[in-house]
Amino acid sequence: MHWKTESYDLLREDWIPILWCNGRFSRAGIREVLTKAHRIKQIAAPNPMDRVAIIRFLLALLYWSKGNPPNDAHGVVGESFPESWFQRLEDADTFRLLGHGQRFYQDPSAQRCRPITDLLQEIPTGNNFWHFRHATDYTDGLCPRCIALGLLRLPLFAVSGLPNLMAGINGAPPIYAVPCGASLYDTLVSNWLPRMPLGEPTWAGTQTAPNPHDDVPLLEGLTLRSRKVWLHEPCGATRPCVGCGKNDVLIYKCGFETAGKQENDRWHDPHVFYLSTSPRQALRAADLTKATAFRMDRPWRDLFKAILDTGRHVSTGKATSLLVVGLATDKAKYIDVWERTIQLRPRSSEEETVCLGVSSLTESPPTMSSKETAITRLTQWQHQVKTLEEIVGRRKGSILGKFAASSIQPHIEDGLSSKSGEVLNGSSKVWQDAEHQYQFLMKIMARALYPAFTTVALSRQEELISKISIYQKNRAKHDKTTERKRDANDTD
């Protein structure tokens, strides 16, 4: 066996993919990642779902080990996490993937036998569409590193499906927005905010669904698993893992079944934006494969508005990156996963002056703050797009309108989203750029839809029709004259 121990200890085995600040890539265990977080640039998993899942898992470990941040956590803690903070992890003995006794994120009551690839959404199996590869159930296996990543996704990205599988605590997977800093240490500190109650993570004992009438403690909500999983034993010679390609002794099947209903409206996820509370509605990634008359790029307008409304990430007064990850689903189908890093930065005094002085695009009075200006412009954007959707939707026969709207609008929105920092700062220039781009695209579309040869062809057609009409009139006149002459001859 290639592993150091048959139990696969997640504290020490090298399984978390990391990019060091010096540019080197490697994998490391939980202990090394936490104690050297200041030297690690970021989590380097290729799938953004894993990046979000790992950061949230490390955050849960930090809360569990140290509790809420000390008063001086932001800046005075030092430049790294002391090793002594994580002694609780060593004592717990709950981070083993295999072996006897308690296993990490597993439940021995999971009886329904399934291929191990059920843990990773991006691996096409069974009768799913073939892409560049396809996995065969129970024949292709996963290494313990990929299995650990799959287990960490269970609280975040589960969907409802047959047989009686149910979504996790957040319901259909929402969009997750995670603040990220210059190093993994900065990232964890940025997310380590005082929260009450903390509760206990599900790895510390038996998991039970929280009471739907009570607030859900932070650690319970972060770690509540949507599936019961029990790994079967690894077997056979070393083979390439279907997840990462690395040669290893693999696991091919597991117990995998629903963990029951977990969706809970009393849970306030620290990385989710809620659009409404009653009924509870979280911001979600749209299924762009659905054939609709009007197709947006991504829910940028709602996302930007939610960031400003909550002030959750823009009130810190320092530059921040926001890792935004959404898994688009259609009931039990996984459609796609998308990510975008939004740069948030405080407005410079020069920009503030420019913002307050320019109000030509909106009716904003010059006394508005940059945040109010940004909100006003985003509200106007939402209103205008809604009006456009209504007009286009109402005119069912207007193919031209639908075509123009669904072609141009996502393009403009994509351009705006790539300048998220300026949009959130209430910058006027980014909106002027969007307006110019819109006019430019409309001109191109106008030329494409009404080319010159069509106009010429129409003129010729009209000319021909008029000539045919004259010919038919002359022909009828001629026929009548001929008939009259024949009648006269017959009489004679």
Binding site for Zn ion (CB under 5 A): 143, 146, 241, 243-244
- Write out the two tokens for 446: 């106008």
Contacts of 331 (CB under 8 A, 6+ apart): 159, 160, 161
Q: How far apart are CA 35 and CA 37, in angstroms?
A: 6
Between 172 and 241, whose beta carbon lies closer to Zn ion?
Answer: 241
Contact yes or no for 305/424 (Cβ under 8 A): no
Place of tokens 């921040």: 320
Beta carbon of residue 243, minimum distance to Zn ion (angstroms, whole number): 4
Between 141 and 255, whose beta carbon lies closer to Zn ion?
Answer: 141
Beta carbon of residue 176, minimum distance to Zn ion (angstroms, whole number): 23
Between 240 and 401, whose beta carbon lies closer to Zn ion?
Answer: 240
Contacts of 145 (CB under 8 A, 6+ apart): 13, 14, 15, 27, 241, 243, 244, 246
List, in sequence order, the alpha helices (H) in 245-369: 300-310, 349-357
Contact yes or no for 282/391 (Cβ under 8 A): no
Contacts 24+ apart (CB under 8 A), 274-277: 274/306, 275/302, 275/306
Between 53 and 241, whose beta carbon lies closer to Zn ion?
Answer: 241
Between 146 and 412, whose beta carbon lies closer to Zn ion?
Answer: 146
Between 2 and 261, whose beta carbon lies closer to Zn ion?
Answer: 2
Q: How far apart are CA 270 and CA 267, in angstroms?
A: 9
Between 138 and 192, whose beta carbon lies closer to Zn ion?
Answer: 138
Counting runs of H as helices and runs of E as strands, what totals does the chain give? 14, 13
Between 251 and 306, whose beta carbon lies closer to Zn ion?
Answer: 251
Q: How far apart are CA 490 and CA 492, in angstroms?
A: 6
Cis peptide leading into 115, omega within 30 of 0? no
Beta carbon of residue 143, minimum distance to Zn ion (angstroms, whole number): 4
Nearest alpha-carbon partner for 255 in 106, 87, 419, 154: 106
Between 239 and 411, whose beta carbon lies closer to Zn ion?
Answer: 239
Beta carbon of residue 146, minimum distance to Zn ion (angstroms, whole number): 3
- Write out the two tokens for 329: 């689903």
* Count of CB atoms situated within 10 Å of the CB of 333: 13
Handedness of CA 390, 391, 395, 397 (dihedral sign): negative
Instruction: Name residue 42's beta-bridge partners.
Output: 19
Between 152 and 308, whose beta carbon lies closer to Zn ion?
Answer: 152
List, in sequence order, the alpha helices (H) in 323-369: 349-357
Contact yes or no for 329/159 (Cβ under 8 A): yes
Beta carbon of residue 145, minimum distance to Zn ion (angstroms, whole number): 5
Beta carbon of residue 117, minimum distance to Zn ion (angstroms, whole number): 11
Between 151 and 412, whose beta carbon lies closer to Zn ion?
Answer: 151
Beta carbon of residue 36, minimum distance to Zn ion (angstroms, whole number): 23
List, in sequence order, the alpha helices (H) in 112-209: 144-153, 184-191
Q: How far apart are CA 264 and CA 185, in angstroms?
A: 31
Beta carbon of residue 51, minimum distance to Zn ion (angstroms, whole number): 16
- Write out the two tokens for 244: 């990462």
Nearest alpha-carbon partner for 228 in 124, 100, 45, 106: 106
Beta carbon of residue 76, minimum distance to Zn ion (angstroms, whole number): 40
Q: How far apart are CA 304 and CA 324, in angstroms?
A: 11
Beta carbon of residue 140, minimum distance to Zn ion (angstroms, whole number): 11
Beta carbon of residue 144, minimum distance to Zn ion (angstroms, whole number): 8
